[in-house]
Amino acid sequence: MESQQSGPLSGAVAVVTGGGRGIGHAIAGRLSAMDATVVITGRDAGRLRQVAGELGAKGRTVHAFACDVTHRASVEELGERLRRAHGRVDILVNNAGIAGPRGLLHELPPDDWDAIFNTNLRGVYYMMRAVVPLMIAAGAGHIVNISSLAGKNALPRGVAYSASKWALNGLSYGLAEELREHNIRVSVICPGSVDTDFSPRRHGKDTSRMLKPGDVAHAVAALVTQAPQSFISEILLRPTRKP
């Protein structure tokens, strides 16, 4: 019998951290529209269920799973659930991230430093531990880490955030080299300011010129539909006109 699913990601399982809001929501929508089975995660279980329901009503296959990427046990439980329910993860988008408060680094409370690094860096490491063994077993996979142009440039009054994204880039480049022999691609997307609730940096800007969450989703879609021999390792994503 002919399958009803015929999109480019039909049969693939994609996990999107922070898939309930903002950029992650757009990525989940895009990948599910390409017929991937999408697992969205985040801390807000109600919001995740709502998004999964909305996308499900459009005929997409989206599962919600509450998971705090800063909690090792929570991520390990997610990994186990993925293994039992799907037995595979073809695409992992590490999107969950926080900016922390704006201000001078020497005035940043250490708890905020910890929260930023535990979410933006340690959380990605935890997700790699949970998912990479499944990809290695399958002999294929694509990991997309949502970094930032703040991981390429200096960001005064956002130094800890910026440093976490520089570190995320380093983690991604190194892991890419470890995993490419397993046919697993690790890519980074570094967007400039995106029009979400994420950061006060959008206030006072011309939001019509800003990147939209869908622009980042478009970049993810391009990465995960490359020919098997092609590996775009990094995308720097800027608004055409400065906001």
Ligand X SMILES: NC(=O)c1ccc[n+]([C@@H]2O[C@H](COP(=O)([O-])OP(=O)(O)OC[C@H]3O[C@@H](n4cnc5c(N)ncnc54)[C@H](OP(=O)(O)O)[C@@H]3O)[C@@H](O)[C@H]2O)c1
Q: Which residues are catalytic?
A: 161
Spatial contact of 71 and 123, defined as CB atoms under 8 Å apart: no
What's the CA gap between 16 and 201, in Å, rounded?
24
Piece in contact with ligand X (CB under 6 A), picked from 41-49, 51-59, 171-179, 223-231: 41-49
For tokens 């490491």, what's the residue? Answer: 125
Look at residue 1 and give its three-state secondary structure.
Answer: coil
The count of chain residues that interact with ligand X, using the rule CB under 6 A, is: 28
Measured between alpha carbons, how far is 96 from 223 in angstroms, rounded to an integer?
A: 18
State in angstroms the smallest separation of the CB of 228 from ligand X.
Answer: 27
**Residue 109 has which token pair?**
């409370």
Beta strands 141-146 and 234-237 are unpaired
State which of positions 105-124 bind ligand X (CB under 6 A): 119
Stretch that binds ligand X, among 7-15, 84-92, 106-114, 196-204 (CB under 6 A): 196-204
Under the binding rule (CB under 6 A), the answer on residue 89 touching ligand X is no
Tell me, what amino acid is at 50?
Q
Contact status: 234 vs ligand X (CB under 6 A): no
Under rule CB under 6 A, residue 199 binds ligand X: yes
Out of 13, 37, 68, 88, name the contact with ligand X by CB under 6 A: 68
AA letter at 3: S
Q: Which of 23, 34, 36, 39 binds ligand X (CB under 6 A)?
A: 23
